Chains A and B, each alone.
Chain A
Amino acid sequence: MSHSHLTISAKKQGEYQSDDGASAPKQPRLKFGKSAEDTDKKGANRRLKDVEICVPIVYGTIAFYLGRKASESQSHKWTVYVRGATNEDLGAVIKRVVFQLHPSFNNPTRVVESPPFELSECGWGEFEIAISLFFHSDVCDKQVDLYHHLKLYPEDESGPQSTKKPVVMESYNEIVFPDPSENFLARVQNHPAVIVPRLPAGFNLPDPMPIENLHEKEKGDTKDHPHSQWFMNFSEADELLKLAAARQQVQAHIIKLRRQLSMMDGLPQLSKPPTGYEFT
């Protein structure tokens, strides 16, 4: 996270941002609360408030034109997938993924039970794919639904399609678990696919109980995936820089306006308003 130089932004983030791992000024206050819905017989399933587990994912499609092998009904071979944003294995968090395809496909409900969570098909048409993520029992019993429009044809329609260069559409998102169970936290505390905030010193988690169906046997990460060369890069640095620059502009503008307003009133310049913009 590269916002050490963005001093302006840091102070205002108090409300929205609870503690983030790298730059947390204070430790999170951990609260234990028994949630009434816990029916886990394994016990030790206390939930931890103020600890936010975040799983960054990328989901999307990649489509190859079949060229000579293309027929009227099958002109493209495409794959829809959900991967870790850094290509790490999501199997520790996600139990299975259900891809809901266009009804014209045979068995349009495709279930993928192990990572890498992807599905390949051949077809000619673009449509919206519904992707449902189901988590392990100690993670969350609610599913998360994502929607992605399958793109087969490139933006630039000039010339024939290339069989070598696929059409890739990916979206970045983060799955947030605001009050994870202790077991989940213990399991993924040091997992590369999961962002866990720094816990206070001396905070001991019990040894995690193993999960059924945990996909430990197969290699679930996508680092060496055959399509990995086409994966898009999602770096927050660019966006953060842009946002910081924009905020600077707006803040400067605000200060000028405030000065104008106070001059118009004939009053001496108002002291800094309570909203507290730190502008040196």
Chain B
Amino acid sequence: MDAKDILGLPKNSLPIPQEKKSRPPKDSQRKPDGISREVYALTGGLAPLMPAIDSSQLKKQPPKDEKITWQWLPFTNSARKDTLQLYHWVRVVNGVPPTGDYSFAKYNKSVDIVKYTDEEYEKYLNDPGWTKEETDQLFDLCQRFDLRFIVIADRFSSSRTVEELKDRYYSVCRAIVVARAPALGDISGNPLVKEPYNVSQEIERKRALSMVLSQTKHQERKDAEVLAEAKRITESRMAAKVAEESELPVPSNAGPESAERASFPGDTVSPSSNVQLPSATIASSALTADNASTLASLRMLRVYLRTYALDQMVQAASSSAGLRTIKRVEQTLQELGVNLKPRVPTKSVCAEHLELRKEILTLLNLQKQLQYKEAEGSSFRDCSYADTPSTPKRSNRGGDQDRTFVPDMSFGGERVGKRDQKRKAPGRLSEAPSSPAQSKRPRKLKASDL
């Protein structure tokens, strides 16, 4: 409105035409064609950008000149090796049954297994560990079971491992391919030739995989710490990474583990007491890994400002925390009378600041854990949490009671006593001043509490 004043335009220039314009578009929306109104409304009342079904098709009828009957007729299946004849319903048009093969015959695919002759066997495929009968049996099973080696291994007469069977099969195929090729150049692109099957590597890989799968939580923790340590070492030395990684037992751990790490602090819905300790240590090992990498990246810079370094370290330390947690950390800092950004950022001040932040994070995590524990184990005490009496003493705080469930802690011994006495008077919770865990009241930390 002010803009119009400034420009000198009349204020109510177009009232009536606006109203008229708004009606016609609405009308056309109410009349979808082809579908009844209620059905159209099911889609949300708006036409989709691309019509899913052409509405005219829904009322289509088959052409009138065709006469359709359904008949119970025999058929043959080209996928079968015998001449079994079965019957099924067939849609007959004008007395002419449909032609063509059984429609599902095309799905009968099988793997093309190499077939070697006896001479080829004598010439190329002799192997001390395998008899001809075994090899023949292997290939027969491969044909039958479409190279599903697990099944083949099960059915194999002598007890050979899957890796051995695979090794024999692929080396035979490779030898045949090489023998039959007119020139080596033709087949150099063939994967059998380019990347032959490596038994020992396969065995190792499977063993490693099963190890990862069967790791206990304890082992995962250990691995996380080892990885963090290794990361630190590689970064500070900047040595050849390959040598380093080959020393670790399971190099591919990083992926699933970082996901585990993230889920651990949050996963306290059905905790056992064992979870507490691992979550703390996993969080700390994750933290040290972040810290180490930030330190390393700082050292790579030729020059940086202390405040920049602190920011990076703070970010690294709070990388696992959500936005709300970070805000709560800052709130706590303010309540403790600490500047969010140090006024005199010297090396030691920054270090202290960082440690303080980390400790506050730990504190908040513990508080959350406590909340969860109590929410769990105190369904019968729900009523006492909903409305706790406000402390008259806290009137100087000025703010609302915090909705977050902060356990009622104070830093001076006498305060606790006083508060309990106060609460007894109104007679709300007539429990004895029991463990602080039961006396729930939201309360913020204050520097003045010290």
Contacts and interface: CB of A to CB of B under 8 A. Distances in A.
A172 to B, nearest CB: 5
Interface string A202-238: 0000000000000000000000000000000011101
A253 B445 contact: yes
Contacts of A260: 370, 407, 435-437
Contacts of B291: 15-16
B79 interface: no
B338 A246 contact: yes
Contacts of B348: 1, 3, 13, 17, 20, 236, 240
A253 B367 CA distance: 10
A250 B356 contact: yes
Given A175-B305, A177-B302, A270-B277, A249 B336 contact: yes
Contact of A239 (B299, B302, B344, B409): B344
Interface residues of A, number: 60
B288 A15 contact: yes
Given A173-B345, A246-B356, A261 B337 contact: no
Interface string B352-392: 11111001101100110110011001000000000000000
A234 B310 CA distance: 18
A234 B346 CA distance: 10
B305 A173 contact: yes
B303 interface: yes
A144 B366 contact: no
B367 A257 contact: yes
A263 interface: yes
A15 to B, nearest CB: 5
A247 B356 contact: yes
A146 B309 CA distance: 14
Contact of B409 (A140, A179, A238, A257): A257
Interface string A122-153: 00000000000001000111101010000000
Interface string A267-279: 1001001110100
Contacts of B295: 15-16
A254 B407 CA distance: 11
B450 interface: yes
Contacts of A1: 346, 348
B192 interface: no
Contacts of B367: 257
B205 interface: no
A178 B348 CA distance: 16
Contacts of B355: 9, 12-13, 16, 247
Nearest to A58: B344
Contacts of A235: 344
B94 interface: no
A33 to B, nearest CB: 9
Contacts of B351: 9, 13, 16-17
A112 interface: no
Contacts of B354: 16
B377 A264 contact: yes
Contacts of A267: 273
Contacts, number: 177
B377 to A, nearest CB: 7
A30 to B, nearest CB: 14
A274 B345 contact: no
B349 interface: yes
A174 B346 contact: yes
Given A242-B338, A246-B337, A177 B303 contact: yes
B29 to A, nearest CB: 52
A174 B284 contact: no
A1 to B, nearest CB: 6
Given A176-B305, A177-B303, A273-B280, A247 B359 contact: yes
Interface residues of B, number: 63
Nearest to A245: B450
B373 to A, nearest CB: 5
Interface in A1-43: 1, 3, 6, 9, 12-13, 15-17, 20
A234 B288 contact: no
Contacts of A244: 352
Nearest to B338: A246
Nearest to A197: B347
B144 interface: no
A274 B374 CA distance: 25
Interface string B302-327: 11111101000100000000000000
Contacts of B369: 261
B354 to A, nearest CB: 6
B411 interface: yes
A62 B307 CA distance: 22
A174 B305 contact: yes
B303 A142 contact: yes
Contacts of B292: 15
Contacts of A263: 435, 437
A243 B303 contact: no
Interface string B261-296: 000000000000100110011001000100110010
Contact of A249 (B353, B377, B445): B445
Contacts of A258: 366
Contacts of B305: 144, 146, 173-176
Contacts of A144: 303-305
Nearest to B367: A257
A44 interface: no
Interface string B409-450: 101000000000000000000000001110000000101011
A49 B313 CA distance: 20
A177 B363 CA distance: 34
A12 B356 CA distance: 10
B337 A56 contact: no
B284 A243 contact: no
19 contacts: A12-B355, A16-B355, A142-B301, A142-B303, A174-B345, A177-B303, A178-B299, A236-B348, A236-B349, A239-B343, A239-B344, A243-B349, A246-B356, A249-B336, A250-B336, A256-B409, A257-B363, A257-B407, A270-B276
Given A176-B309, A177-B303, A260-B437, 11 more contacts: A16-B350, A173-B305, A174-B306, A176-B303, A176-B305, A178-B299, A246-B336, A246-B356, A263-B435, A264-B377, A274-B284
